[in-house]
A and B are shown apart, each in its own frame.
Chain A
Amino acid sequence: MSFLDELGSFLGSANNRSQILGDLLEHCYLALVPLVAGVVIAIALCWLGRTWRPMRGVLLAVANVVYTIPSLALFVVIPSVIGTKILDSINVVVALTLYTSALLIRPTLDALEAVPQQVIASATAMGYRPARRFFAVELPLAVPVLTAGVRVASVSNISLVSVGALIGVGGLGVLFTDGFQREYFSPIVVGIVLTLVLALVVDLLLVLLRRILTPWERASASARRAVPA
């Protein structure tokens, strides 16, 4: 059978198709929940890091160490630490949340520290208290850099979820283990293609999200265009 024939018969089975769809949706979930959680945690930690100076160094150091831990090692160690059973999908979610947070700490800190002093000063002058100022001024200005970090994290997460198949967690990784066990190319190819497509789609959505959240960039860009350079 040529490869295309094999692919045809693989996708031709309704049972196969519904399994692939299920795997895809689960993969989606396992990659995106940590992304959102990671962003929230990174922002919260950075806010703390800016309020208490000594925490900043600790934060960067810990983030560095966490990010260094190899993926499979983290997946198998987390259950003992948080008390779940080893083959539970929550382990993957927790592990990826840790990675995402660790990855985002540095860019978030940099972004927050890059907000010009004048802007903060004027916000305070306008009567913003620190918390309000954080959410209404500093965070929105940090969005571009944050999004860049989140895009990197999303690609990483989507790729790492597959490794979860080695500890029995679903997602597209199941296609790889199945294909490997049976010397069957089709599921592997389908799995790789779907992973890439998913990464692309999520990336585009994030770019879109950034556009929505930073209307001033569009405004200033069009203003610049209106005035002859």
Chain B
Amino acid sequence: MTALQVIFLITAVGTLGSALMVVITRNLVHAALWLVAALFGVAVIFVQLNAGFLAIAQVVIYIGAIAILMIFAIMLTRRVAQDAGPQTNPNWAWAFLVAAVLFGGLTWLLSAWSGFSTPMPEISSRADPLRQLGQALVSPNAYVLPFEVASVLLVTALIGAIMIAWDRKSG
């Protein structure tokens, strides 16, 4: 067992554990915090996959924006009576079943795939994924259009969110 494998395992367990806690905890704020932990674990995995930029982006965007946003939302939609009691709805058994079946199915299907156990290929030290990514995102031959569209999407979402959450009473 190499060091990388150990690190991976620790990270994986941490992530999965945090994720599990997210979906199980009764306290919603705790769930948000556990979510932060899970997202952090995902960032670490990104690092292990030589996607440094994505790791940073993950932390900044997901944890820095999205998770915070969720905490704000929890704060704004607090009902004391709702926080007590089990936080799962009566169909949790069916949900569990579906999730389990899906996991089993996916695993089984993937294991039949030939490329299931591909080892990690070497990448040359001269390769710079960051530079490549930057060029790909603004290059007309590559992904500039999706990039621009994504920005438009964000503007739209921004405006949309404001509109939806606009409080008519206070104007």
Pair from one complex: no
**Interface on A for B, CB 8 Å cutoff?**
none
**Interface on B for A, CB 8 Å cutoff?**
none
